[in-house]
């Protein structure tokens, strides 16, 4: 008898031999320790198994019910971006030695993963200007919440201050997370499209563990980190910066502007949008906080013959050692996506990443200027990276509906999170051609003149 | 194989590239005109400069230094290192899944939302729960999400309960998650059968106890047969019962946490539902709850309104958001694909085979290694290296010796309540031949410990690198590559 399930190798004979060895007559006997009242005496009520060919058809059908970025140009960003991903990225992370491996707890047979993560950590340090980076977090949003927790435990202060120009989902997750240990989360309002420095000055005090800002911020604007850091440090608080890593190819790294912790998401560098996940949070700190970093860190060492090798290190911080005293409960991370971004950063290289960042700036600049020429108002008072806010004479959702009818995915509606339902946040990456941008603007004009 | 030990930075040469970007088709922008000079980068980012083939050779060489499930047997207890199906990888890369933006209008992502909705329904059925959130990115995040719901539930009832109970055999994430959720942890010890001591539990259960966290089967691979009584004890004093789904591979289609009396369940899709571990992640840790906890589930929730799938963020009692967007969608696609591949009978057979394999291997090894628990196990079992330790060989040495045979060792030194522990989980996707061959090697190593202990003490002998100095790594941490300062160039 053969098995009818391709992932289950046991034949009837195999099963019989194993049962005989155990002096049992049926598999059911292995479940006799389950009390009868909890046994499920019927099959699960889920759809029947599909053979591979029908399975693929079914999945293709579901997939085709989504409009994807290969079909429609995407002008949506707000934390997730449609960027160029070199083909090599997918090929490298598809090496089964990488993706079917567990966490590298046995370094002798995990040197590949360990070295790749060591290289990833180096790249994150390079981009952020920080001393130490970990091997990844779930995403940029949860990384920000972890940074806040670190600041509270490191400073023994009772609240954090976060700018409203930080991604709304980051702030929402921060609020959820703060409910655990019970520290306060205060928000700072906006001055046009950037953090209101004067309000920060008024609100910060000796109870403030950290000030959290985003760079470029949620509206694409480039915050003056030097100024914000100065105010933060006057009160002895930590300065936490959430940053789009692509922008750091051309912007002064937060580490050079006083940041104590830099977090963000590597998604713009080599990770598909995938409906929002899996992406890859990063977490970088100054040397002072090295032993407070959450999650796994790879370090360089030598073997018994003096040969260079890599291991998971500083594990005394982690949950499997410290249990309830651990700084964080993170265990699984986003290692494969960290690898993807390392491969992407390698493919782009020192010049490519600058070129890509520059293209983003130029295309966004072109689109903003073109919109202004047509009479639209771009509301970012400050310089912006690859995103900006445009004020519309009509609600964003109406515009987006019309854009969709013309085969384009419009920008992010700031109505829900900021009460600005006539303000659209538009992202322009290197993927958008001049033609697509012009077409988008033409449709916008048409709608308005309708 | 070529002995390749270079870092990517060490093979970099200025002027090479591994990518090609589109040409500028708009006006150039001088950053100096746009951004204040102190916010412009001064020093170039020292990313490597290599050609595409050099990149491919580098990462291929690294992959050759890595052991994955596709390379060989991986009986890592508690991690469920089963086969990661290829079709799942293909499907997750369909452009309709991988190239969609999380904020696209809902009407343009109905297929994705339908998939998530159906997966919620399937996992609710598999766990016997009433509703499921797919948001948590991993088991630990699922635990924390569950515990935040526990907290919200008690607070809503006007109770402030501060204590979470975990057994001594629990995963480290259990107490850590409880702490991060703001609870104090109390450890309860197991009885001599390796099970929760119900009398001891009763002593700890009071109106300050928010929840008991359990895995069932537990980390020793044993089924907590008193689970119904345990649930009664917990519920009687107003506590909640939390199911850590790390060991769910033993119970598919046989029982459900719901039937056992659990209120909250997390599953590790990267364990039971074949999504790859990826060298440490990404995973997914969906959480299921019974009716009384539904109001506290995180937002957004994926719901069906007539024929349309919608995202609901308007839930006043919700604990809020726990993860960006809607969870690790690409991982959820893989798990969904697996569930559709197996169907109800297939999933039941998964657990039956997993349990059969574990018991078969256990009985083969029991004559050679100490085993405190001789009852039938579920999908995994623990042995102790205490007999070998008396001969001067530790479990770590046995693990290293296994590397010489091309096996990934079992989990070692966990759970903490077993001396010199070896925790072995063969999984259902391994053939009897593989299990037999592994048993032979384990028996050979047990004999080596007696006859030629140096062979084990000095292991591994065949890996590309020897035992690494972990003490040095932690005392003098080198956590990144540093290029000589003189070589750095301006942007």
B72 shares contact with chain A (CB less than 8 Å): no
Give the length of chain B.
491
Mean pLDDT, range B173-200, rounded to an integer: 94
> Is the pLDDT assigned to residue B486 strictly greater than 60?
no
Q: Is A64 helix (H, G, I), strand (E, B) or coil?
A: helix
Domain ranges of chain A: 87-344, 349-449
State the pLDDT at residue B457: 97
A203 shares contact with chain B (CB less than 8 Å): no
Question: Could A92 and B55 be called an inter-chain contact, meaning their C-beta atoms sit closer than 8 Å?
Answer: yes
A86 shares contact with chain B (CB less than 8 Å): yes
Structural contact between residues A9 and B429, judged by C-beta atoms closer than 8 angstroms = yes
- Which residues are CB-neighbours of B353 under 8 A, at least 6 positions away? A8, A10, B428
Mean pLDDT, range B440-446, rounded to an integer: 98
Mean pLDDT, range B231-244, rounded to an integer: 98
CA distance A185 to A181: 12
Of chain A residues 411-430, which have a CB less than 8 A from chain B?
412, 430
Structure tokens at A216: 């470029």
Nearest to B479 among A84, A299, A331 (CB): A299
> Is the pLDDT assigned to residue A424 strictly greater than 50?
yes
pLDDT in tens, A265-292: 999 999 999 999 999 999 999 999 999 9
Q: How far apart are the first and last CA of chain A?
A: 71
Closest CA to A17 of B356, B297, B254, B149: B356
CA distance B346 to B191: 35
Q: What is the C-alpha radius of gyration for chain A, rounded to an integer number of angstroms?
A: 25
Domain ranges of chain B: 8-63, 87-341, 347-473
B479 shares contact with chain A (CB less than 8 Å): yes
Of chain B residues 140-199, which have a CB less than 8 A from chain A?
140-141, 143-144, 148, 151, 171-173, 175-182, 184-185
Nearest to B85 among A7, A40, A80 (CB): A7
Residues of chain A positioned with their CB less than 8 A from the CB of B79: 102
pLDDT above 70 covers what percent of chain B?
98
Closest CA to B239 of B133, B165, B188: B165
A109 shares contact with chain B (CB less than 8 Å): yes
B473 shares contact with chain A (CB less than 8 Å): yes
Compare all CA atoms of chain A with the CA of B409 and give the residue at the minimum distance: A106
pLDDT above 70 covers what percent of chain A?
99
Question: Could A103 and B279 be called an inter-chain contact, meaning their C-beta atoms sit closer than 8 Å?
Answer: yes
> Is the pLDDT assigned to residue A311 strictly greater than 70?
yes
CA distance A115 to A118: 5
> A3: pLDDT confidence band, cut at 50, 70 and 90?
low
In a mutagenesis test of the A interface, which of B42, B96, B224 is the best target, namely the one with the most A β-carbons within 10 Å? B96
HEC states along chain B?
Answer: CCCCCCCHHHHCCCCCCCCCCCCCCCCCCCHHHHCCHHHECCECCCCCCCCHHHHHHHHHHHHCCECCCCCCCCCECCCCCCCCCHHHHHHHCCHHHHCCCCCCCHHHEHHHHHHHHHHHHHHHHHHCCCEEECCCCCHHHHHHHHHHHHHHHHHHCCCCCCEEEEECCCCCHHHHHHHHCCCEEEEECECCCCCECHHHHHHHCCCCEEEEEECCCCCCCCCCCCHHHHHHHHHHCCCEEEEEECCHHHCCCCECHHHHCCCEEEECCCCCCCCCCCCCCCCCCCEEECHHHHHHCCCCEEEEECCEEEEECCCCCCCCCCCCCCCCHHHHHHHHHHHHHHHHHHHHHHHHHHHHHHHHHHHHHCCCCECCCCCCCCCCEEEECHHHHCCCCCHHHHHHHHHCCCCCCCEECCCCCCCCEEEECCCCCCCHHHHHHHHHHHHHHHHHHHHCHHHHHCCCCCCCCCCECHHHHHHCCCCCCCCCHHHCCEC
> A2: pLDDT confidence band, cut at 50, 70 and 90?
low
CA distance A156 to A236: 12
> B372: pLDDT confidence band, cut at 50, 70 and 90?
confident
The more confidently predicted of residues B491 and A251 is: A251
Closest CA to B372 of B383, B361, B380: B383
Fold agreement between A87-344 and A349-449: no
> A373: pLDDT confidence band, cut at 50, 70 and 90?
very high
A252 vs A129, A143, A194, A248, A256, CA distance in Å?
9, 21, 17, 7, 7
- Which residues are CB-neighbours of B158 under 8 A, at least 6 positions away? none
CA distance B214 to B196: 9
Mean pLDDT, range B127-151, rounded to an integer: 98
CA distance A45 to B125: 7
Of chain B residues 232-251, which have a CB less than 8 A from chain A?
none
Supply the CATH classification number for the domain A349-449. 3.90.1150.10
The more confidently predicted of residues A323 and B104 is: B104
> Is the pLDDT assigned to residue B417 strictly greater than 90?
no
> B490: pLDDT confidence band, cut at 50, 70 and 90?
very low
A368 vs A218, A378, A399, B64, CA distance in Å?
16, 7, 17, 48
CA distance B59 to B68: 15
Mean pLDDT, range B370-379, rounded to an integer: 92
CA distance B232 to A82: 52
Structural contact between residues A328 and A153, judged by C-beta atoms closer than 8 angstroms = no
Residue A79: which region, alpha, beta or left (left: phi > 0; alpha: psi -120 to 50)?
left
Q: Is A386 helix (H, G, I), strand (E, B) or coil?
A: coil
Of chain A residues 333-372, which have a CB less than 8 A from chain B?
333-337, 339, 343, 345-356, 358-359, 361-363, 365-366
State the pLDDT at residue B1: 57
Task: Fill in the DSSP letter of residue A129.
Answer: T
Q: CA A262, A266, A267, A269: dihedral to nearest 10 degrees?
A: 130
CA distance B398 to B457: 8
Segment holding A176, helix H or strand E: helix A168-178
State the pLDDT at residue B433: 98
pLDDT in tens, B294-315: 999 999 999 999 999 999 999 9
Q: Nearest 5°: phi and psi at B164? A: -120, 130
Mean pLDDT, range A94-103, rounded to an integer: 98
> Is the pLDDT assigned to residue B103 strictly greater than 90?
yes
Question: Could A300 and B76 be called an inter-chain contact, meaning their C-beta atoms sit closer than 8 Å?
Answer: no
pLDDT in tens, A69-87: 999 999 999 999 999 999 9
Q: Nearest 5°: phi and psi at B205? A: -75, 120
**A427 has which bridge partners?**
A387
Structural contact between residues B339 and B347, judged by C-beta atoms closer than 8 angstroms = yes
A1 shares contact with chain B (CB less than 8 Å): no
Of chain B residues 304-343, which have a CB less than 8 A from chain A?
319-331, 337, 339-343
Nearest to A350 among B45, B59, B101 (CB): B45
Structure tokens at B468: 């690494």
Residue B406: which region, alpha, beta or left (left: phi > 0; alpha: psi -120 to 50)?
left
Structural contact between residues A323 and B172, judged by C-beta atoms closer than 8 angstroms = yes
CA angle, B303 as apex, B299 and B305 as ends, to 5°? 140
pLDDT in tens, A203-224: 999 999 999 999 999 999 999 9
Nearest to B101 among A69, A118, A299 (CB): A69
pLDDT in tens, A326-359: 879 999 999 999 999 999 999 999 999 999 999 9
The position carrying tokens 């479940």 is: A31
CA distance A212 to A228: 10
Structure tokens at B320: 């809020």
* Domain B347-473 classification at class level: alpha beta
Compare all CA atoms of chain A with the CA of B227 and give the residue at the minimum distance: A35
Segment holding A398, helix H or strand E: helix A396-405
> A50: pLDDT confidence band, cut at 50, 70 and 90?
very high
CA distance A99 to B377: 29
Average pLDDT, chain B: 96
Task: Fill in the DSSP letter of residue A201.
Answer: H
Question: Could B62 and A111 be called an inter-chain contact, meaning their C-beta atoms sit closer than 8 Å?
Answer: yes
Mean pLDDT, range B369-387, rounded to an integer: 94
Structural contact between residues A33 and B375, judged by C-beta atoms closer than 8 angstroms = yes
Judge if ipTM > 0.90. yes
> Is the pLDDT assigned to residue B124 strictly greater than 60?
yes
- Which residues are CB-neighbours of B53 under 8 A, at least 6 positions away? none
Q: How far apart are the first and last CA of chain B?
A: 39
Q: Do β-strands A190-191 and A194-195 pair in parallel, antiparallel, or remain unpaired?
A: antiparallel
State the pLDDT at residue A398: 94
Burial of B203 (0-12, 13-18, 19+ CB in 10 A): exposed
Compare all CA atoms of chain A with the CA of B354 and give the residue at the minimum distance: A8
Average pLDDT, chain A: 96
Q: Evaluate the omega torsion of the peptide bond into residue B460 and state whether it is cis, within 30 degrees of 0.
A: yes
Nearest to A97 among B63, B173, B181 (CB): B63
B276 shares contact with chain A (CB less than 8 Å): yes
> Which CATH architecture best describes the domain B87-341?
3-Layer(aba) Sandwich (3.40)
Mean pLDDT, range B315-340, rounded to an integer: 98
The more confidently predicted of residues B2 and A124 is: A124
DSSP track, A227-261: HHHHHHHHTT-EEEEEE-TTGGGTBPPGGGGT-SE
Question: Could A274 and B330 be called an inter-chain contact, meaning their C-beta atoms sit closer than 8 Å?
Answer: yes
Q: Is A109 helix (H, G, I), strand (E, B) or coil?
A: helix
Give the length of chain A.
450
* Domain A87-344 classification at class level: alpha beta
CA distance B437 to B443: 10
Instruction: Encode B345-371: b = buried (16+ Cβ within 10 Å), e = exposed.
Output: ebbbbbbbbbbbbbbbbbbbbeebbbb
Structural contact between residues A314 and A289, judged by C-beta atoms closer than 8 angstroms = no
State the pLDDT at residue A375: 94
């Amino acid at each position: 008898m053969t098995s009818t399930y391709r992932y289950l190798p046991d034949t009837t004979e195999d099963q019989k031999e194993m049962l005989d060895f155990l002096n049992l007559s049926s598999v059911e006997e292995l479940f006799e320790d389950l009390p009868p009242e909890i046994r499920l005496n019927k099959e699960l009520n889920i759809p029947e198994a599909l053979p591979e060919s029908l399975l693929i058809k079914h999945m293709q059908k579901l997939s085709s019910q989504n409009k994807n970025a290969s079909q429609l140009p995407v002008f949506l960003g707000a934390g997730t971006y449609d960027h160029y991903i070199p083909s090599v990225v997918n090929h490298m992370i598809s090496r089964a030695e990488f993706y079917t491996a567990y966490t590298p707890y046995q370094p002798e047979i995990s040197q590949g993963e360990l070295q790749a993560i060591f290289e990833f950590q180096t790249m994150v340090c390079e981009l952020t200007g920080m001393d130490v980076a970990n091997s990844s977090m779930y995403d940029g949003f949860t990384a920000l919440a972890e940074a806040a927790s670190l600041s509270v435990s490191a400073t023994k202060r009772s609240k954090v201050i976060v700018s409203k120009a930080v991604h709304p989902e980051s702030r929402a997750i921060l609020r959820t997370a703060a409910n655990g240990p019970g520290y306060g989360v205060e928000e700072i309002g906006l001055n046009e499209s950037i953090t209101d420095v004067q309000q920060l000055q008024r609100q910060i005090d000796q109870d403030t563990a950290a000030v959290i800002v985003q760079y470029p911020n949620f509206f694409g604007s480039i915050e003056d980190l030097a100024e914000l850091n100065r105010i933060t440090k006057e009160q002895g608080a930590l300065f936490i910066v959430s940053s789009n890593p692509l922008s750091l190819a051309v912007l002064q790294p937060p580490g050079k502007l006083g940041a104590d912790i830099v977090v963000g998401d590597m998604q713009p560098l080599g990770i598909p949008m995938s409906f929002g996940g899996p992406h890859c949070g990063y977490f970088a700190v100054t040397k002072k906080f090295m032993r407070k970093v959450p999650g796994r860190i790879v370090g360089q060492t030598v073997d018994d013959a003096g040969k260079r090798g890599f291991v998971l290190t500083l594990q005394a911080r982690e949950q499997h050692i410290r249990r309830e005293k651990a700084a964080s409960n993170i265990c699984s991370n986003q290692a494969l996506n960290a690898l993807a971004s390392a491969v992407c950063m390698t493919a782009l290289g020192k010049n490519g990443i600058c070129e890509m960042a520059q293209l983003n700036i130029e295309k966004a600049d072109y689109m903003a200027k073109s919109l202004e020429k047509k009479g639209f108002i771009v509301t970012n008072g400050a310089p912006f990276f690859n995103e900006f806010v445009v004020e519309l004479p009509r609600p964003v959702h109406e515009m987006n509906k019309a854009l969709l009818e013309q085969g384009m995915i419009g920008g992010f509606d700031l109505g829900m999170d900021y009460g600005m339902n006539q303000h659209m946040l538009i992202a322009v990456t290197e993927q958008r051609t001049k033609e697509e941008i012009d077409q988008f603007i033409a449709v916008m004009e048409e709608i308005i003149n309708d | 194989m070529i002995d390749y030990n270079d870092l990517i930075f060490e093979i970099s040469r200025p002027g090479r590239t591994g990518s090609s970007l589109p040409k500028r088709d708009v006006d150039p922008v001088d950053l100096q005109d746009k951004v204040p000079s102190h916010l412009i980068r001064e020093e170039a980012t020292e990313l490597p400069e290599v050609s595409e083939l050099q990149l491919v050779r580098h990462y291929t060489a690294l992959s050759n230094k890595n052991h994955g499930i596709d390379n060989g047997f991986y009986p890592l207890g508690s991690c469920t290192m089963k086969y990661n199906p290829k079709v799942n990888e293909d499907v997750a890369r369909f452009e309709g899944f991988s190239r969609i933006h999380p904020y696209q209008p809902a009407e343009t992502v109905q297929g994705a939302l339908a998939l998530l909705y159906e997966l919620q329904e399937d996992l609710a059925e598999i766990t016997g729960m009433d509703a499921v959130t797919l948001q948590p990115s991993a088991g630990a995040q699922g635990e924390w999400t569950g515990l935040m719901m526990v907290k919200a539930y008690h607070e809503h009832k006007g109770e402030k309960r501060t204590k979470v109970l975990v057994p001594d055999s629990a995963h480290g994430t259990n107490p850590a998650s409880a702490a991060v959720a703001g609870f104090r942890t109390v450890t309860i010890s197991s009885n001599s059968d390796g099970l929760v001591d119900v009398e001891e539990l009763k002593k700890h259960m009071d109106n300050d106890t928010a929840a008991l966290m359990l895995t069932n089967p537990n980390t020793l691979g044993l089924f907590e047969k008193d689970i119904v009584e345990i649930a009664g004890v917990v519920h009687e004093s107003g506590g909640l019962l939390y199911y850590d789904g790390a060991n769910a591979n033993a119970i598919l289609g046989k029982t459900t946490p719901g039937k056992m009396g659990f209120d909250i369940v997390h599953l590790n899709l990267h364990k039971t539902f074949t999504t790859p571990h990826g060298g440490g992640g990404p995973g997914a840790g969906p959480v299921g709850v019974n009716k009384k906890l539904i109001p506290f589930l995180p937002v957004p929730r994926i719901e069906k309104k007539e024929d349309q799938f919608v995202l609901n963020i308007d839930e006043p009692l919700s604990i809020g958001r726990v993860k960006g967007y809607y969870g690790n969608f690409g991982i959820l696609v893989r798990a969904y694909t697996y569930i559709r591949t197996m169907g109800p009978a297939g999933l039941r057979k998964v657990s039956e085979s997993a349990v059969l394999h574990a018991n078969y291997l256990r009985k083969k090894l029991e004559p050679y290694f100490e085993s405190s628990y001789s009852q039938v196990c579920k999908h995994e079992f623990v042995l102790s290296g205490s007999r070998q330790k008396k001969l001067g060989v530790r479990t770590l040495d046995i693990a290293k010796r296994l590397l010489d045979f091309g096996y990934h060792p079992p989990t070692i030194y966990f759970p903490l309540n077993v001396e010199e522990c070896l925790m072995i989980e063969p999984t259902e996707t391994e053939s009897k031949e593989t299990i037999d061959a592994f048993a032979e090697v384990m028996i050979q190593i047990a004999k080596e410990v007696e006859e030629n202990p140096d062979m084990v003490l000095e292991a591994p002998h065949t890996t590309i690198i020897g035992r690494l100095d972990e003490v040095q790594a932690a005392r003098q941490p080198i956590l990144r590559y540093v290029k000589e300062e003189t070589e750095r160039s301006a942007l």
